[in-house]
Copies of this chain bind each other. A is one copy, B any other.
Amino acid sequence: MINPNDPGLKSWVAVAAHSDFPIQNLPFGIFRPQHQTPRAGVAIGDHVLDLHYLEGQGYFRNLNLPSGVFDRSRLNDFFALGKKTIRAVREQVSLLLRHDNSTLQAENIRKQVLHAMHDVEMLLPVRVPNYTDFYSSEEHATNVGSMFRDPKNALLPNWKYLPVGYHGRASSIVVSGTPVRRPRGQVKTDSEFPMFMSTHKLDFEVEMAFITCGETKLGHPIHTHEAEDHIAGFALFNDWSARDIQQWEYVPLGPFLGKNFASTLSPWIVTLDALEPFRVDGPEQNPHVLPYLAFEGKKNFDVVIETLLQPEGAEAVVVSRTNAKYLYWNVNQQLAHHTVNGCNIEVGDVYASGTISGPSPGSFGSLLELSWNGQKKLHMTDDTTRTFLLDGDTVTLHAYASRDGVRIGFGACSGKILPSL
């Protein structure tokens, strides 16, 4: 029996002790080797395994993959093959990378199939046909409601009955490492009229996103028990936000220009399979959910997420340490709710969790909450302080699940703030 999650597995590729990418992980991404075209790869230690090369050499022949399916600049065509095929490829890669498998270890093959990570460029892993952002952290929704409405009735009446979500902008989702230009827009301060200016309240939002590997027909809902068949895996997601622009525009139709200037996705899609050992129960749901949102089993994941804020030329500070397990609504419920009216999904869709905040102040997932809308200053290593982001700041999310000496990491989700044009 193949168990690619076995903590005892070792690879012949050297993997450092605290690497995000041991043989138990094997996430998928798109990379461009120097002087070559973009292609699909799998992260292993400090290297990227070239799936296009492997497929061309016949190493996946038993899986009957379409020829050239990894010779693409996005993973969509691969993911369209469905969950079983994605799983089979990960299992095959696991076999090929095991310490006792010599198939790829000969120097001439090894040179072709393994690329040092620092020599390749990581690209956006999927073309994103649709992007939805949920609002599934009770602590985050409570914090926002306390700040802007009434601390005693911080959660709106619908919040515990349905996973609130809204449609975001797909075109401005960028891969980790892409700089983010400080947006300009209308801001209404104490003056009588709104003014056009660069945002003064630029923020990050710590989120996890799941990426779909199936498509459904319009009119056909996905049930909670089958939702995971449509989910390839997770990536980290930073939903940059301009709080002052958002504040003026968002009533009644929701956030728009305060969000759609950029969202950053991490390049590696960590499979649901790799996260299997890290399932935990989510928060108790009270009141009981409607039948279409009911589910069985452990649907949350114990994934620590750390956020680092690095001023230009200074050391980074960890400003937030939270966990995906805090999410009130799970991904099965999110997908079931999203499609219960017949809305269809497509391959490569990105569904983000919404800001993940935990119960303690150090676990809040945005500067809005960490600085309590500017009232509290965060101290940086260069003796400056922050309430919101300054030009030159770099925000980096890291995440990992860890147990039995195995660490399933997500790689970095990072972006640096450039001044307005």
How far apart are A339's CB and chain B's nearest CB, in angstroms? 9
Residue of B253, B257, B292, B341 touching A261 (CB-CB under 8 A):
B341
Supposing A166-B167, A290-B196 touch, asked if A343 and B257 sit within 8 A by C-beta, the answer is yes
Verify A181–B346 contact, CB threshold 8 A.
no
Instruction: Find the B residue at minimum CB distance from A245.
Output: B341
Give the residues in chain B near A260, CB-CB below 8 Å.
167, 341, 343
A345 CA to B260 CA, complexed, in Å: 11
Supposing A164-B253, A194-B290, A253-B166 touch, asked if A158 and B248 sit within 8 A by C-beta, the answer is yes
Verify A252–B254 contact, CB threshold 8 A.
yes
How far apart are A224's CB and chain B's nearest CB, in angstroms? 14
Instruction: Find the B residue at minimum CB distance from A198.
Output: B341
How far apart are A243's CB and chain B's nearest CB, in angstroms? 13
Supposing A129-B171, A168-B167, A218-B172 touch, asked if A183 and B250 sit within 8 A by C-beta, the answer is no
Verify B337–A290 contact, CB threshold 8 A.
no
How far apart are A301's CB and chain B's nearest CB, in angstroms? 24
Give the residues in chain B near A219, CB-CB below 8 Å.
181, 261, 421
A340 CA to B209 CA, complexed, in Å: 27
User: Which of A63-71, A185-193, A227-235 participates in binding chain B?
Assistant: A185-193
Interface of A is mostly: loop
Count, chain A residues at interface, CB 8 A: 60
Verify B256–A166 contact, CB threshold 8 A.
yes
Verify A338–B135 contact, CB threshold 8 A.
no
How far apart are A210's CB and chain B's nearest CB, in angstroms? 16
Contact flags (1/0) for A155-197 with B, using CB distance below 8 Å?
0111001101111111110100000010111101000011010
Q: Answer yes or no: A291 CB below 8 A from chain B CBs.
A: yes
Supposing A166-B167, A194-B158 touch, asked if A183 and B342 sit within 8 A by C-beta, the answer is yes
A243 CA to B253 CA, complexed, in Å: 14
Residue of B166, B170, B349 touching A130 (CB-CB under 8 A):
B170
Verify A257–B337 contact, CB threshold 8 A.
yes
A194 CA to B69 CA, complexed, in Å: 46
Which of A174, A183, A287 gathers the greatest number of chain B CB atoms within 10 Å? A183
Q: Answer yes or no: A2 CB below 8 A from chain B CBs.
A: no
A339 CA to B28 CA, complexed, in Å: 32
How far apart are A294's CB and chain B's nearest CB, in angstroms? 11
Q: Answer yes or no: A16 CB below 8 A from chain B CBs.
A: no
| 28 chain-A/chain-B pairs, Cβ below 8 angstroms | A130-B169, A135-B253, A161-B193, A162-B194, A164-B249, A164-B256, A166-B253, A167-B168, A167-B254, A167-B256, A171-B345, A171-B346, A171-B349, A183-B341, A184-B342, A185-B340, A185-B341, A193-B287, A219-B261, A242-B341, A250-B254, A252-B254, A253-B254, A253-B255, A257-B337, A257-B340, A262-B342, A342-B421
